[in-house]
């Protein structure tokens, strides 16, 4: 019996060694990088939805529900989406950068008041939807294409053909179907590994053509003003009142503009960002600065940055040289009036023209944002921004 045990023991050790080696090999294989491409395990075309095959149906299926843009905001709200802000919109006014949330997900929406009376955003029309794949539940677009982080250019072209416009960006490529940005389907595809957010691709559905039909007004009855001729005068006219940036907050409040929100306290050499002044249905977005060596209330401060955007209710603004600026103004008209800017930046739906004045340009410049392709519809609103801290020293930023 003892001899038998001595004979079997080496074999048991051998079998155990073989098993252990196999386990090590299998563990190594499991822990190593797979050679299988995750995209190959996915089916790009999905069945079972009611979405159209026509890309220009302006449809998108999010989390199992199909929406046709434009549509009432209530279509989303009834499916569990919540507006981050439900502000009032004047007739004809829009909010281009609204957010809707559902659980841990979010989408960006453009909302328009197509009615004749002031209304909450929740009672208005969604004309623009942007879904980023990392922020949105399952997204399906016309033709049944599952739009996710693995969607490729070839997927788009095989279903929809060549895009009308294509833009190559540093870490992504943009594709636009539809020549008018206000009635288009746009895609941004990130290549894996080129984005810190890993392939945060997006799809944007924009359809506002039926929401508004406008022509440029006749301004022949607008009286000339005593505004300066040079753009670097930092002047503009609203309601017949000439403002020169920077100017005291009281110049607005004494002319009927109301400062919204609390009347906070500013430390010396600090500024408050995003202070809104309202007059009727019109709003001015601003920075309020304290240039003194003592604490001031907002109402005692100085407005050093003004953003005048036509989605905030302006019919028109008079700029230096009695130049009428409205949402129909084109980049070429600005060139003709003020010459070439020092910088031109092209965004997805607009052109930004920067006119620098002074060596310290971060705190002293005028900037226009103009719709691309002379598009005058509701998804893009021209705006002009004046920034003049009238200082060569860097302010300390927002502080209360």
Each residue of 90-115: pLDDT tens digit? 877 888 888 999 998 999 999 988 77
Q: What is the pTM of this model?
A: 0.51
Q: Are 181 and 281 part of one and the same domain?
A: no
- Taking only the tens place, the pLDDT of each residue in 254-277 is 999 999 999 999 999 899 998 999
Considering only CA atoms, which of 254, 230, 231, 229 is closest in space to residue 241? 254
Is the pLDDT at 352 greater than 90? The verdict is no
What's the mean pLDDT in 26-55? 67
Whether residue 285 is predicted with pLDDT greater than 60 in this model: the reply is: yes
Asked if pLDDT for residue 14 goes beyond 50, the answer is no
Identify whether 32 is part of a domain.
no
CA dist 331 and 322 (Å) reads 17
Q: Check whether residue 134 and residue 60 sit in a common domain.
A: yes
- Co-location of 149 and 287 in the same domain: no
> Are 78 and 199 found together in one domain?
yes
Please give the order of strands across the beta sheet that includes 317-319.
241-244, 235-238, 317-319, 323-325
> Considering the domain boundaries, does residue 362 fall inside one?
yes
- Does residue 340 sit within a domain? yes
In the listed set 143, 174, 207, which residue is the last one of a domain according to the structure?
207
Is residue 21 included in any domain, yes or no? no
Specify whether 90 is located in the same domain as 190. yes
One domain, residues 183 and 45 = yes
Q: Say if 27 falls within a structural domain.
A: no
pLDDT of 377-389, one tens digit each?
Answer: 433 468 899 999 8
Separation of alpha carbons 92 and 207, rounded Å: 16
- Are both 64 and 189 inside the same structural domain? yes
Count the domains in the chain. Answer: 2
Domain end among 191, 207, 223: 207
pLDDT for position 217: 78
Q: Provide mean pLDDT across the span 337-366.
A: 78
235 and 202 in one domain?
A: no
Q: Is the domain of 268 the same as that of 371?
A: yes
Q: pLDDT tier at 54 (50, 70, 90 boundaries)?
A: very high
Q: Tell me the average pLDDT of the chain.
A: 81
55 with 141, same domain: the answer is yes
| Residues 196 and 236 grouped into a single domain | no
The last residue of a domain, from among 207, 240, 273 = 207
- pLDDT at residue 192, as a whole number: 57
Task: Give the highest mean pLDDT range of 19-28, 205-214, 272-281.
Answer: 272-281
Task: Look at residue 71 and tell me if it is in a domain.
Answer: yes
Parent domain of 132 = 40-207
Residue in 228, 128, 111, 107 with CA at minimum distance from that of residue 182: 128
What pLDDT is attached to residue 205?
94
> Quick one: how many helices (H) and strands (E) in the chain?
5, 30
Give percent above pLDDT 90 in the chain: 45
User: Is residue 88, in this structure, part of any structural domain at all?
Assistant: yes
Q: Encode pLDDT of 148-168 as tens digits.
A: 888 889 999 999 999 999 888
What tokens appear for 67 in the block? Answer: 């929406």
Q: Are 292 and 377 found together in one domain?
A: yes
Domain presence at residue 225: no
């Amino acid at each position: 019996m003892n001899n038998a045990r001595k004979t079997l023991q080496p074999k048991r050790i051998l079998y155990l060694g073989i098993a252990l080696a196999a386990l090590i090999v299998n563990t190594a294989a499991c822990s190593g990088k797979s050679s299988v491409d995750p995209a190959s395990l996915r089916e790009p075309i999905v069945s079972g939805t009611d979405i159209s095959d026509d890309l220009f149906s302006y449809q998108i299926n999010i989390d199992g529900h199909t929406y046709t843009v434009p549509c009432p905001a209530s279509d989303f709200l009834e499916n569990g989406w919540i507006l981050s802000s439900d502000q009032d919109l004047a007739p004809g006014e829009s909010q281009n950068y609204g957010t809707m949330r559902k659980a841990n997900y979010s989408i960006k929406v453009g909302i328009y008041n197509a009615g004749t009376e002031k209304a909450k955003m929740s009672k208005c029309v969604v004309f623009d939807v942007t879904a980023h794949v990392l922020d949105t539940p399952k997204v399906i677009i016309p033709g049944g294409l599952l739009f996710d982080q693995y969607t490729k250019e070839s997927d788009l072209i095989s279903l929809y053909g060549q895009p009308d416009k294509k833009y190559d960006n540093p870490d992504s490529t943009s594709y636009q179907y539809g020549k008018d940005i206000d009635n288009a389907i746009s895609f941004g595809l990130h290549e894996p590994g080129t984005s810190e957010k890993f392939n945060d691709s997006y799809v944007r559905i924009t359809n506002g053509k039926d929401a508004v039909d406008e022509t440029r007004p006749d301004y022949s009855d607008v009286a000339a003003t005593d505004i300066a001729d040079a753009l670097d005068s930092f002047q503009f006219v609203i309601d017949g009142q000439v403002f020169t940036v920077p100017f005291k907050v009281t110049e607005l409040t004494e002319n009927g503009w109301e400062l919204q929100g609390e009347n906070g306290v500013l430390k010396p050499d600090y500024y408050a960002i995003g202070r809104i002044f309202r007059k009727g249905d019109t709003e001015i977005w601003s920075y309020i600065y304290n240039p003194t060596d003592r604490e001031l209330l907002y109402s005692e401060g100085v407005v050093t940055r003004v953003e005048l955007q036509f989605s905030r209710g302006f019919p028109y603004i008079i700029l230096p040289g009695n130049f009428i600026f409205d949402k129909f103004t084109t980049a070429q008209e600005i060139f003709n009036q003020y010459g070439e800017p020092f910088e031109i930046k092209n965004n997805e739906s607009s052109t930004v023209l920067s006119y620098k004045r002074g060596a310290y340009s971060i705190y002293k410049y005028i900037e226009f944002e103009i719709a691309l392709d002379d598009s005058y519809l509701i998804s893009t609103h021209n705006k002009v921004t004046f920034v003049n801290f009238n200082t060569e020293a860097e302010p300390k930023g927002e502080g209360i």
